[in-house]
Structure 1
Amino acid sequence: MGRGKVELKRIENKINRQVTFAKRRNGLLKKAYELSILCDAEVALIIFSNRGKLFEFCSSSDMAQTIEKYQTFSFGALEVNQSEEETQNNYQEYLKLKAGVDELQRSQRNLLGEDLGNLGTNELEQLENQLDSSLKHIRCRKTQFILDQLSELQRKEELLLETNNALKRKLEETTAAIRLSWKAGDERVPYSFQPVQPYDSVEALQYSSASQIGYNPAETDQATATTSTQNVKWFHSRVDALAFETKKRQEFAIGPENEMNK
């Protein structure tokens, strides 16, 4: 039974990664040796581990001579008018960029807590300071974000308070108008009628300034919105009740007058 296809991605487990590297390295060196023997080919193989350890194989007696031969063939395909000095500068620039990329990748792995075995005390201390600085920036940004949310919630609370006060004033005006209507009706009613006592005032929402970061902004916003919604519903129910009482009183006042006219 054949093995399944192996997914080509970085092995996260450090031990498994080292074991796989050793197996694949030995297999690659064996293949290079067999190729040089079976085909009488000049083969050079250079391998660097993730810790920078060198492994090499060369079918000839001089690795440097093989590398020089490779460079001659590689750069011979470049444009004729390109000078050898410019080519060498470009190659050196490429090596610098490649080294920079390797250093960034190594630093990223260290920040993730990987490949720390070859780091000294000073390097570990620098890594710790770098992580502390990053955490400070993250916490500062988080605090600023929460403060912005608090400011927005306070602004919404002020708008809800203004709406509540406007409803209170409107209810007081409606109550005063109904009282005047009742007073005029009392003068025409020949018998005593005890009216329903109107609600004189609406208690304003209690404004609680959430000045600490520890409270839950979502719960405060939801509680304030629920209280204002209840006040609006109560206001409409009271207006309907008062209007109904006024209509009844007017019917009671008109009824005796019709009997007297008859």
Structure 2
Amino acid sequence: MVRTKIEIKKIDNLTARQVTFSKRRRGLFKKAQELSTLCDVDIGLIVFSATGKLCHYSNSNMEEVITRHSMHIEKVECVEHQPSPSLQRESITYAGLAKEFTEKSRELRQLNGEDLQELGMAELIKLEKMVEGGLSRIMRKKGDILLSEINALKKKEAKLMEENAQLKQRSEIGVQGGPPYSSESVTNGCCLFPDKLQDHYKSSDTSLKLGLPFPD
């Protein structure tokens, strides 16, 4: 069966793209390992996936390969033209930053539980202590935030209780003062004018007749 030639272009399907990246990455690293073994050369490969994940391979030490690469660039520039002191400082800075970037990337992956196969017991214990230290700092920060929120709620509760006590005191003062016309004053008023009340009841017709009306 004749194998069809795959057209080299971007794969639109995201799943197929990820599968192809994983397979071809392993194949690329395998070819690099074979080339370094057969030809006794130093190789360093750095690949960033579409999701931003860093993948790299080196047959010796990635930091040394990057440093040699930086030094080679400096030598080429020296041959072509004499670099300025500022460019030399930038090249040295670049090499240092590249080395620091590689170290920090590896440290971050190890903190996430990746690339642990090359670590010994002492390095694993050190990594474990770093993770425990980070967790303890997170717990302390969380406790400080919770304590601050509790104190704020207590202050709010005390303020509400104070306002409630003031409202209760005002209501008690109003009850003790009494309304302008209490039931007692109305009763006294009725007792002071009994004659007028009797005249009022006499003048009003309050009789009630029951039964059917008689015929005329």
Identity of aligned residues (%): 20
Of the two structures, which has the highest relative contact order with CA contacts closer than 8 Å and spacing of 6 or more? 1
- Residues 155/122 of structure 1: CA separation in 2 closer, same or farther (3 Å cut): same
What is the root-mean-square deviation of aligned Cα atoms in Å?
A: 4.3
1:47 to 44, 47, 52: 44
For 1:164-216, what per-residue CA distance to the aligned partner results, in whole angstroms no more than 9, with x for missing partners?
Answer: 111111211222233783333332345xxxxxxxxxxxxxxxxxxxxxxxxxx
For 1:57-115, what per-residue CA distance to the aligned partner results, in whole angstroms no more than 9, with x for missing partners?
Answer: xxxxxxxxxxx99765444455x4737xx876764543232111100000001111111
TM-score, structure 2 normalization? 0.57
- 1:186 is aligned to 187
For 1:8-28, what per-residue CA distance to the aligned partner results, in whole angstroms no more than 9, with x for missing partners?
Answer: xxx7x9xx85x4322235689
For 1:110-138, what per-residue CA distance to the aligned partner results, in whole angstroms no more than 9, with x for missing partners?
Answer: 11111111111111100000011111111
Q: Indicate conservation of the 8 Å contact 2:32/2:43, yes or no.
A: no
- Residues 258/134 of structure 1: CA separation in 2 closer, same or farther (3 Å cut): farther
- 2:53 is aligned to none
- Residues 5/154 of structure 1: CA separation in 2 closer, same or farther (3 Å cut): same
Q: Secondary structure of 2:136's partner?
A: helix
Q: Indicate conservation of the 8 Å contact 2:45/2:58, yes or no.
A: yes
**2:189 & 2:103 partners in 1: Cα distance?**
98
Q: Secondary structure of 2:84's partner?
A: coil
Gaps of 5+ in 2: 1-5, 34-40, 47-55, 61-70, 201-216
**1:257 & 1:116 partners in 2: Cα distance?**
110
- 2:26 is aligned to 22
Larger Rg: 2
Q: Secondary structure of 2:117's partner?
A: coil
**1:257 & 1:103 partners in 2: Cα distance?**
110
Aligned length: 165
**2:102 & 2:158 partners in 1: Cα distance?**
55
Gaps of 5+ in 1: 30-43, 55-67, 191-252
1:160 matched to 2:167: no
Q: Secondary structure of 2:58's partner?
A: coil
- Residues 153/130 of structure 1: CA separation in 2 closer, same or farther (3 Å cut): same
